[in-house]
């Protein structure tokens, strides 16, 4: 199938790019064929975020969105708090100490999945072809080495590689330009980076794991538009924090982020989140409520210094595939959307000039002069300072640098990052955290949580969690780190069985995978490679 532009991923960046392309074509009375592939069963099925969204990019993309039917931005932020937790209490961090760009004034708390569903409806109304349930499994190259499109994965292949009666071959989608909007740690993006040496002049990307639950709470405790962020307890050997967003329809989105550079191999981000909910303030909010959804996803924490080269022959990276999250603001939707728009503008100009499969230098130039880069630059030292000096001193130093940047007294340095997988220490050097036993009311186990994510994979298919060396988990990771995949995975995919009998085996329950990508990031020898399963497999988030 031939298109002018193929976009991999129907998230905020990919859909914004598609809409912008069609807008420019309409403005100039031209035609441009745009296709969006989405590996989820529907648009929004794999989208998970807090989310508090800055509408800056939406205002640029669809200036009249407030008057448009069905838009999901119905809950403006009305209250903004930052709390520092101890085991049994909390103190409010004075908002006046934060630079003005940290305000949530004018922002909205919303389901990002519903934002994407609404953007998809706008894109389809403009003539964009969107194919949910089709996973881009392979990058296609022309004879000169430029990207010429992607191929979707075949379906109906058994674990042993044999074709089942339901077999259907994948499709090749050829394009003049291909935009990769796969999100964090996209498997094709990971392939493209070394091929085109995209990370030659940047720091390694680093990540956090965000774990989220959606609760129906007692209406008397719900304050629509209230936004709370927490730091401190229960984390001891890791950095991160929590969020509590009072959203529409009496629901509260709450989640916990653990930065994946932690050293203690006994840490379980999932159990840290469950422990966080036992804090008296949070437990009181949830008392009498009901958990209705669960999910997890890695997020980019590298920021300004970890953004790779964006364009290469035949394609470009947009959105979280490149990593535009503003970590202190905990916002990346507006920057992702803007990146998609900038890429679209470069693509449209190139197509109208009769070009194809060359490098979109105009996109890189647009980013270099954009508010996206300027916004990320202001906060570039926040994550490294917190990691180096800890929550208290690091946060204070980060606040000082952000204020100075806001006052245009730019720091003469940019701190670097260390890859997350290099951070683990030996198991005997760290204490095991004490986690609460799941009670099924406030705290839960991973399997019952995965059930709420509506995750489903065809079991008889080739594995999408591939071990480069099957001996590493038991022969290397188990004696050194007590095989940390058992704990860092928020979905119970990995377990070691038979250890008490003296015959340990590493088991992969791939059907539980919620596509968070943590294993691909945190495995100490980078032995786990996440590739796409059959299209449509994975979580089916209804309102996340």
Which residues form the catalytic set? 49, 297, 333, 489, 513, 516, 519
Within 8 A by CB and 6+ apart from 33, the residues are 2, 3, 4, 5, 129
Among the listed residues 216, 281, 276, the one whose alpha carbon sits nearest the alpha carbon of residue 443: 276
Query: Could you identify the residue written with the tokens 């905990």?
Result: 330
The pair of three-digit structure tokens given for residue 414, joined into one six-digit string: 């940019």
Q: Do strands 226-232 and 79-85 pair parallel, antiparallel, or not at all (unpaired)?
A: parallel
One-character DSSP codes across 296-355: EEEEE--GGGG----EETTEEE-GGGT---BTTTTB-HHHHHHHHHHHHHHHHHHHHTT-
Question: What letter does residue 39 receive in the DSSP assignment?
Answer: -
CA distances from 131 to 3, 180, 353, 372 (A): 13, 15, 28, 29
Within 8 A by CB and 6+ apart from 265, the residues are 424, 425, 426, 427, 430, 481, 482, 484, 487
Q: Is 458 exposed, middle or buried (0-12, 13-18, 19+ CB in 10 A)?
A: middle
CB 196 within 8 A of CB 312: yes
CB 478 within 8 A of CB 494: no
CB 481 within 8 A of CB 265: yes
Element at 486 (helix H, strand E): helix 485-488
Question: What letter does residue 542 receive in the DSSP assignment?
Answer: S
């Amino acid at each position: 199938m031939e298109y002018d532009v193929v976009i991999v991923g129907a998230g905020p960046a990919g859909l914004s790019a598609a809409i912008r392309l069609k807008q420019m074509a309409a403005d100039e009375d031209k035609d441009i064929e745009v296709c969006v592939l989405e590996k989820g069963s529907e648009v929004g099925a794999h989208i998970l975020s807090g989310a508090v969204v800055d509408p800056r990019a939406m205002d640029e993309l669809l200036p009249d969105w407030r008057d448009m039917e069905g838009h999901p931005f119905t809950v403006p932020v009305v209250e903004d708090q930052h709390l520092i937790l101890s085991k049994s209490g909390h103190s409010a961090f004075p908002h006046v100490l934060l630079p003005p760009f940290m305000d949530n004034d004018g922002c909205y708390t919303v389901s990002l999945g519903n934002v994407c569903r609404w953007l998809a409806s706008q894109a389809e109304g403009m003539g964009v072809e969107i194919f949910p349930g089709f996973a881009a499994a392979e990058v296609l190259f022309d004879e000169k080495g430029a990207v010429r499109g992607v191929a979707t994965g075949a379906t109906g292949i058994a674990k042993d590689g044999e074709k089942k009666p339901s077999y259907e071959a994948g499709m090749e989608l050829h394009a003049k330009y291909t935009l990769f909007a796969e999100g964090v740690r996209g498997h094709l993006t990971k392939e493209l980076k070394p091929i085109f040496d995209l990370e030659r002049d940047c720091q390694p990307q680093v990540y956090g794991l965000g774990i989220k639950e959606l609760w129906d709470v007692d209406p008397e405790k719900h304050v629509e538009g209230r936004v709370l962020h927490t730091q401190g307890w229960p984390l001891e050997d890791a950095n991160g924090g929590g969020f509590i967003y009072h959203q529409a329809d009496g629901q509260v989105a709450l989640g916990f982020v653990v930065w994946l550079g932690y050293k203690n191999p006994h840490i379980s981000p999932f159990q840290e989140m469950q422990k966080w909910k036992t804090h008296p303030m949070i437990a009181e909010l949830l008392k009498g409520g009901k958990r209705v959804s669960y999910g997890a996803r890695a997020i980019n924490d590298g920021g300004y210094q970890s953004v790779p080269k964006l364009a290469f022959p035949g394609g470009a990276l947009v959105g979280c595939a490149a990593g535009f999250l503003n970590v202190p603001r905990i916002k990346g939707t507006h920057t992702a959307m803007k990146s998609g728009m900038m890429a679209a503008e470069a693509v449209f100009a190139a197509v109208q000039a009769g070009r194809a499969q060359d490098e979109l230098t105009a996109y890189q130039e647009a980013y270099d002069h954009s508010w996206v880069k300027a916004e990320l630059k202001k906060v570039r030292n926040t994550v490294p300072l917190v990691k180096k000096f800890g929550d208290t001193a690091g946060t204070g130093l980060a606040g000082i640098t952000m204020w100075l940047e806001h006052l245009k007294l730019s720091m003469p340095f940019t701190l670097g990052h260390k890859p997350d997988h290099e951070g683990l220490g030996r198991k005997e050097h760290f204490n095991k955290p004490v986690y609460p036993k799941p009670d099924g009311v406030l705290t839960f186990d991973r399997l019952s949580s995965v059930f709420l994510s509506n995750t489903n994979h065809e079991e008889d298919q080739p594995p999408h969690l591939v071990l480069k060396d099957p001996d590493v988990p038991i022969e290397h990771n188990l004696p050194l780190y007590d095989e940390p995949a058992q704990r860092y995975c928020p979905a119970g995919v990995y377990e070691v069985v038979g250890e008490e009998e003296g015959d340990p085996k590493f088991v992969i329950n791939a059907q539980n995978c919620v596509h968070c990508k943590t294993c691909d990031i945190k495995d100490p020898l980078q032995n786990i490679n996440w590739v796409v399963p059959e299209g449509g497999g994975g979580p089916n988030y209804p309102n996340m």
